[in-house]
Amino acid sequence: MVLQKLLFYLEEDIAGGDITSDAIIPDVSTNARIIAKEDGVIAGLFEAVSLFNYYGVETELKKHDSEKVRSGDVLIEISGSAGKILLLERTVLNIIGRMSGVSTRTNQLSSVIKEINPLANVSGTRKTSPGFREFDKKAIILGGGDPHRYNLSDGFLIKDNHLALCSIKEAVKLAKDYTAYKKVEIEVESVFDAVKAAEAGADIILLDNMTPERIKEVILALEEKGLRKSVILEASGGILGDLVLEYAKTGVDRISLGELTHSVKNLDVSLEIMPALKTLKIS
């Protein structure tokens, strides 16, 4: 299944063939390498190797997924058909670049959060690139984060639009009656509703767009009723940059961040042919 998805991504680049390489590159074998151009946490090497190997290109990993790398580090040594290597180049670099961007940002934020609150986790969301979710989520894990739900069947997440049609108490009951094998999470925007959700038996309470001060009020209210330990508290919504520190200090169990996957800054990686192909003489 993974390989099928990778080949699907490749297809948009090679549907009409690589006319540049086909026209000017002879059918020769060559060596190449993929290099990190900046520091980060690498991801996507497994996927890159899968594509290269499918096309008969030999690879040797010099780094491994989830490893921290420095600018200039060689990630993969490659040998095989020059044409095949060039055919795969951009797709492979896109995959490594995006996944490494996700894993690097996840690792950065996770480190910040755990310095303040060692028990808290940084989590992703479903705000992923269409068709690329499996790899976005994997990159979050490789960066040390929690992937959260992969899809709508992974767990219950009762949001404001659900609660516009159903009360908190009724929604939690209906979800638990539906199946006992899925966690029930409910989104709230007030201290009052957070307490109601805990009393209704929710497993996870999503504190949506709350300030750190308001979250502290929620925690205090739950502690006063003896409900704090019965629920996981998740902060989410507009948490960017230095704000992560303030939310970590509140004592929530996890902080979910859409920016991990909806605002990805790719890690810079490049592929270099080693040695360079000889210049062709055209008579």
Q: Do the beta carbons of residue 231 and residue 201 sit within 8 Å?
A: no
Contact partners, residue 76, CB within 8 Å, separation at least 6: 33, 34, 45, 48, 49, 52, 59, 60, 61, 62, 63
Task: Please name which of 132, 176, 125, 171 lies closest in space to residue 152, comparing C-alpha atoms.
Answer: 125
Domains and CATH numbers, the chain: 2-104+265-274 (3.90.1170.20), 107-262 (3.20.20.70)
Handedness of CA 206, 212, 217, 220 (dihedral sign): positive
How many Cβ atoms sit within 10 Å of the Cβ of residue 120? 22
Q: Is the pLDDT of residue 279 over 60?
A: no
The more confidently predicted of residues 274 and 101 is 101
The more confidently predicted of residues 262 and 282 is 262
- What integer is the mean pLDDT of 208-224? 97
Q: Is the pLDDT of residue 19 over 60?
A: yes
Q: Which position has the token pair 């055209």? A: 282
Contact partners, residue 166, CB within 8 Å, separation at least 6: 174
Query: Tens digit of pLDDT for each residue in 168-177?
Result: 999 999 999 9
- What integer is the mean pLDDT of 231-255? 93
Q: Is the pLDDT of residue 277 over 50?
A: no
Calpha distance 233→197 (Å, rounded) = 11
Predicted pLDDT at 92:
98
Predicted pLDDT at 275:
67
Please state which of the ranges 60-69, 219-228, 270-279 shows the lowest mean pLDDT: 270-279
Calpha distance 222→250 (Å, rounded) = 13
Calpha distance 172→176 (Å, rounded) = 6
Q: Is the pLDDT of residue 281 over 80?
A: no
Ramachandran area for residue 56 (φ above 0: left; ψ -120 to 50: alpha; else beta): left
Please state which of the ranges 180-194, 203-217, 267-281 shows the lowest mean pLDDT: 267-281
pTM value > 0.85: yes
Calpha distance 222→218 (Å, rounded) = 6
- What integer is the mean pLDDT of 176-188? 97
